[in-house]
Structure 1
Amino acid sequence: MSIGAMMLPKFSLLGNPITAEEALYEGLDVSTKKALADVALQAATSKGATYADIRIGRYLNQFVTTREKKVQGIANTESLGVGIRVIANGSWGFAATNSFTKEDIARTAEKAVAVAKANSKIITEPVQLAPQKGYGEVTWKTPVEQNAFTVPVKDKVDLLLQANGIAMQGGASFVNSAILAVNEQKYFASTDGSYIDQDIHRIFPTFTVTKIDRASNKFQSRKSLSAPSGMGYEYLTPLADTRVAGIVTRYKGRYDLLEDIKNATADVEQKLKAKSVEPGKYDLVLDPSHLWLTIHESVAHPTELDRVLGYEANYAGTSFLTLDKWKAGNFKFGSDLVNIVGDKLQPGSLGAVGYDDEGVKCKEWDIIKNGVLVNYQAIRDQAHIIGLKESQGCCYAQTWADVQFQRMPNVSLRPGTSPLSVDDMIKNVEKGIYIVGDGSFSIDQQRYNFQFGGQTFYEIKNGKIVGMLNDVAYQANTQEFWNSCTAIADASDYRLGGAFNDGKGQPSQSNAVSHGSSTTRFNGVNVINTARKI
């Protein structure tokens, strides 16, 4: 893989600047893509490839950013090209081009075969691909109601500046806000017989509000509670919010930017006046807007099979969830309530696609079942290592110019099966902290010992929220923490959080991923005061 990457020209991750109007131009039609794909596949097999796939990609990005009363930046980019991956002499090879002539496509396929044959001289064992049937000609599209790229930039600027104005009128010292939109137009074809055309959309509205207390020169900030979403611009069409003990904590599948920034401005005022937490053991009630990051770092990353095997180490470490724990069949990762699944199917999620980047139809599978480690995340050339007969459909490349490899799917905690609201959960807590929003975090190189902060923290005493706290972070190890899980709210509270840019690999790549959960309780977790010197 590294040899193939060395042969690539220096392409920009985000692509070349274009106008907002140019982003709406239709790309290559499907028949043209299929003709180019057939050229690549034939060229690769004629040079000795036993397997070949091609990805024709058009990647569109739009960034609209503001601060207070000013527009900071507007950018539209497009990246367009072809990546070809092959197996020859039992080894992988990869090459890419941004030229769309049939001659250059054929030469690129031949170059990929040459890379594979060079790599084959140093491999210790040949690639073993899990079988995959061809799907013929199929399509999949994110079910958007309104393509974000069709919305005039002026409308987005007006919305962001309106939000900033609400914060400034509420006493904010600084505020910045942004709307990020992504459209991946991806065509995949392989010698297995698949020709898959996909149109994928994502959007991320976000802001940060900061207020300074001039008397003390102290400041507090609060980020948006939006989750980046696999939706169109309809995500910014407000629906009713939900309150827990009078606190707005969530938005039902849509996001109210103006309401959230109003609440955030009030929150920073409260944070300036809030008392500092007393260290000790607390029962934690973690909102999905916070818990998604804990799932991401302590569950999703350590169950990536390449990380478990040590193939992925320099970028964020390996994993304590070694194969011996899985083979034992009884490793108690968490309490009996903990059921965690992987998938790239959930509507509205960042990972939602019909097929992954090696043509595997996506599905759902158990990773942790009733608290026990039962599986990992694996792609076609990894499946045999853990006895799977097929890939789990979690292969991804950030652009056409990058080789695809195992990337995290949506990894989510199933909701509780018995009726339980968040208010009812809080009523049963004597000494606790309710945490909303994600903050800073730290985790060791085996994804075991960790520390997490958040956005807002509310003290719970005798079943009631009694006020806001500051300087809160909790510490635990992964197994101890998930075994302390004692209650999970039911499906009516289930929500998605996620990351627009999750890094992995060398050369590094980024992917978007969601993590779902309902509000969850963890008992007896160690809480520290981040403002006190140790």
Structure 2
Amino acid sequence: MDRRRFIKLAGVGAGGIALPIYGAQVSAEQLIHGGMDVARKKALSDTVLNAARKAGASYTDVRIGRYLNQFLLTRETNVENIVNTESFGAGIRVIANGTWGFAATNDLTEDGIARAARQAVAVAKANAKYQTEPVQLAAVKGVGEVSWQTPIKKNAIEVPISEKVDFLMNVNQSALKAGASFVNSALYLVNEQKYFASSDGSYIDQDVHRLWAPMEVTVVDKESGQFKTRDGLSTPVGMGYEYLAGREEDKIAGPTTLYKDSYDMAEDAVLAAEQAKVKLSAKSIDPGKYDLVLEPLHLRLTIHESVGHPLELDRVLGYEANYAGTSFATLDKWRSGKFQYGSDKVNIFADRTQPGSLGAVGYDDEGVKAKRWDLIKDGVLVNYQATRDQVHMIDQKESHGCSYADSWSSVQFQRMPNVSLAPGKDKYSVKDMIRDVEKGIYIVGRGSYSIDQQRYNFQFGGQLFYEIKNGEIVGQVEDVAYQSNTQEFWNSCSAICDSSDYRLGGTFFDGKGQPSQVSAVSHGCATSRFDDINVINTKRKIG
């Protein structure tokens, strides 16, 4: 088997991201053209299914994938890098003698792919010597030949490079004119063309698109040498280039300008420069207990770390431990039927069908149709995230459809679906929520964070902090982080805004597994209030 892929780490100032870039570098034109005919993919898939069955497989699936990436990185008036990559091949997974086997190849000839199928069966048979219990797969009915595509309006990869460079240069100029000393901006565009076939009778063709437009703006006080930064307030999305339209009707009213279903990057660059300047003279927070009003771009990270990860069943069972730990949300808590994960305001669900989300697909990488299911209902833990070979461990018969591999050359395994906090049922705005707070902090955007190995004790920062006194915003503050534990924090949730404030946030590069894989996942919520939370000053020394 080919050693899969090379990984190029491209550093970018926007958040200090180290980008995993998979595949061979190609021209921008090659990203638009090429690919393999669906009929040819089906013929190759049948070759795999037949070869694996003859070699002794009781179950087989094959994923033929073409993974395209385009990344544009800029700084001030310069284009720092443009990267176009393509990775194309097939991953084959089988069960033989009750055990999994896997092989991958980029030799997509009849002989090459049949050889890989036989290798996967040989791997399974070798592994069977050490298997104590046979794999138990939840039943999935074959769907025949179907297709699904992210409902984009404009393919971002097809937009000319020159147009995208001009767009980012305008963003940078907007920030510089508004007083920024430095600015980085970027576009990350991903297209996964995935064909899945299985011995269950499914032939599924999917075309998945994602986009992210991060930036980082820095303002330096030349007299003191002090500086402050503010990251962009975009969110990565399962959308096309239309996300960057910045429609006026998508603006969300609040202490700062935010967007719901589109993003005006240039406007945000101006605001970032102005707000970074205010940060230089903003009051340093007095530590103590505060009510926190957390907007969605901030709260989505807290959801990700304190709900999304601990409810992954492989972490709960201890199968996933080396990469960021296990989980406090053990099976005994779920089986009790009364573990109070949060207050009765907290309803958290998983959903791979949400339009515009990063995790939206028609079917997962095991051929399971995407769906929605509850994880926490009225504050009580009711379910986990599981794949076909896991659900029997929690006495369920139907997979949740959250299997994913980041490449044709990676074996698929349980990955987090979109995990979201349901909005409040009663009409309640951000303005209403702030009016109901006597002593609090309104927090916007993602900042630094830390969480322990069981996803329990944590600390979160943010991008912007506004002090609330007697129901009013009184100004920006700085040096804020809050500390809590997962159960205490979610049980302190006292109010959630209604669906008019519900927005998606997300992460493009969520790491898990060994060898490490990344996935993209969204988290939706409306602005929410958490009472009496411990806030520390991140600049003051302890003791």
Structure 2: distance between partners of 1:442 and 1:419: 34
Q: How far apart, CA to CA, are the structure 2 residues paired with 1:69 and 1:407? A: 39
Q: Which residue of 1 aligns with 2:450?
A: 442
> How far apart are 1:173 and its partner, in Å?
1.1
Q: Which residue of 2 aligns with 1:337?
A: 345
Q: 1:357 aligns with which of 362, 365, 371?
A: 365
Report the equivalent of 1:507.
Answer: 515
For 2:403 and 2:238, the matched residues in 1 are separated by 18
TM-score normalised by length of structure 2: 0.96
Supply the distance in 2 between the matched residues of 1:510 and 1:243 (Cα, whole angstroms): 31
1:226 lines up with 2:234 in the alignment: yes
Which position in structure 2 is the counterpart of 1:270? Answer: 278
1:476 to 467, 473, 484: 484
**2:256 partner amino acid:** I
Residue 475 of structure 2 aligns with an amino acid whose one-letter code is: G
Deviation at 1:244, TM superposition (A): 4.0
Letter of the 2:27 partner, please give it: T
Q: Which residue of 2 aligns with 1:111?
A: 119
Q: 1:300 is matched with which residue?
A: 308
Aligned residues of 1:83 and 1:95 also touching (Cα < 8 A):
yes
Q: CA deviation at 1:170?
A: 1.4
Deviates more, 1:211-220 or 1:342-351: 211-220
Q: How does 1:358-507 map to 2 (within 5 A)?
A: 358-507=366-515
Say if 2:236 is the partner of 1:242: no
Match in the other structure for 1:185: 193
Q: Distance in 2 between matches of 1:390 and 1:11?
A: 34
1:24 aligns with 2:32: yes
In the alignment, the residues of structure 2 paired with residue 225 and residue 347 of structure 1 have an alpha-carbon distance, to the nearest angstrom, of 20
Say if 1:177 and 1:132 are closer, same or farther in 2 by CA, change over 3 A.
Answer: same
Is 1:141 equivalent to 2:135 in the alignment? no
Corresponding residue of 1:195: 203
Matched to 1:388, the amino acid is Q
Task: Give how far 1:214 is off.
Answer: 1.7
Are 2:79 and 1:91 aligned? no
Range with bigger deviation, 34-43 or 216-225: 216-225
Question: Hey, what's the Cα distance between the residues in 1 that align with 2:252 and 2:113?
Answer: 56
Q: Is the 8 A contact 2:2 2:106 kept in 1?
A: no
Structure 1: stretches of 5+ with no match in the other structure: 1-6
- Partner of 1:67 in structure 2? 75
Q: Deviations over 1:162-184 (max 9, x none)?
A: 11111111111110000010000
Q: Quote the offset at 1:12 in angstroms.
A: 2.4
**Number of corresponding residues:** 527
How far apart are the structure 2 equivalents of 1:151 and 1:518?
Answer: 32
Q: Deviations over 1:221-261 (max 9, x none)?
A: 0001000000010111111253544521x213011111111
Q: Aligned partners of 1:261 and 1:68: how far apart in 2? A: 12
Asked if 1 retains the 8 angstrom alpha-carbon contact of 2:252 and 2:501, the reply is no
Which secondary structure does the structure 1 equivalent of 2:214 belong to?
A: strand
Report if the CA contact (8 A) 2:507-2:521 is conserved: yes
Q: Counterpart of 2:3?
A: 9
**Matches of 2:297 and 2:526, distance apart in 1:** 9
Give distance in 2, aligned partners of 1:105 and 1:329: 47
1:49: which partner in 2? Answer: 57
Is 2:354 the partner of 1:346? yes
Residue type of the partner of 1:139?
Answer: S
Output the CA distance in 2 between the equivalents of 1:214 and 1:498: 35
CA contact (8 A) 1:245 1:465 kept: no
Indicate conservation of the 8 Å contact 2:312/2:385, yes or no: yes
Partner Cα distance (1:430, 1:242) in 2: 27
Structure 2 residue matching 1:531: 3-state secondary structure: coil
Q: How far has the Cα of 1:26 moved from its partner?
A: 3.5
- Give the secondary structure class of the aligned counterpart of 2:42: helix
Secondary structure (helix, strand or coil) at the match of 1:120 reads helix
> What is the CA distance between 1:325 and its match in structure 2?
0.1
d(CA) in 2 for partners of 1:22, 1:234 = 22
Aligned to 2:12: none
In structure 1, C-alpha distance between the alignment counterparts of 2:29 and 2:172, rounded to whole Å: 26
Range moving further from structure 2, 328-337 or 250-259: 250-259
The answer (yes or no) to whether the contact 1:239–1:252 under 8 Å persists in 2 is no
Report if the CA contact (8 A) 1:225-1:289 is conserved: yes
Q: Which string of whole-angstrom CA distances, capped at 9 and with x for unpartnered residues, describes residues 330-368 of structure 1? A: 000000000000111100000000000000001000000
How far, CA to CA, are the matches of 1:268 and 1:10 in structure 2?
A: 43
Deviations 1:93-125 (A, max 9, x none): 000000111001000000000000000101111
Contact 2:175 2:266 in 1 (8 A): no
Contact 1:332/1:371 (<8 A) preserved: yes
Between the aligned partners of 1:391 and 1:12, the Cα distance in structure 2 is 33
Measured in 1, the distance between the counterparts of 2:474 and 2:104 equals: 59
Aligned identity (percent) is 65
Moved more, 371-380 or 157-166: 157-166
**Distance between the aligned counterparts of 2:352 and 2:260, measured in 1?**
20
**CA offsets 1:246-290 (integer angstroms, 9 cap, x no match):** 521x21301111111111111101101101000000000000010
Contact 2:298–2:444 (CA under 8 A) maintained in structure 1: yes
Give the letter for the 1:236 counterpart.
Answer: L
Contact 1:51 1:88 (C-alpha < 8 Å) held by counterparts? yes
How far does residue 10 in structure 1 lie from its aligned partner after superposition? 4.2
Say what the alpha-carbon RMSD is for the aligned residues: 0.8
Q: Is the 8 A contact 1:92 1:116 kept in 2?
A: yes
Task: Look up the SS of the partner of 1:263 in the other structure.
Answer: helix
2:11 — aligned with what? none
Deviation at 1:11, TM superposition (A): 1.8
- 1:281 is aligned to 2:266: no
Correspondence for 2:15: none
1:129 matched to 2:123: no
Which aligned runs of 4 or more in structure 1 are off by greater than 6 angstroms?
none
One-letter identity of the residue aligned with 1:160: L
C-alpha deviation, 1:496, in angstroms: 0.4
1:206: how far off? 1.0
TM-score of the superposed pair, with normalisation by structure 1: 0.98
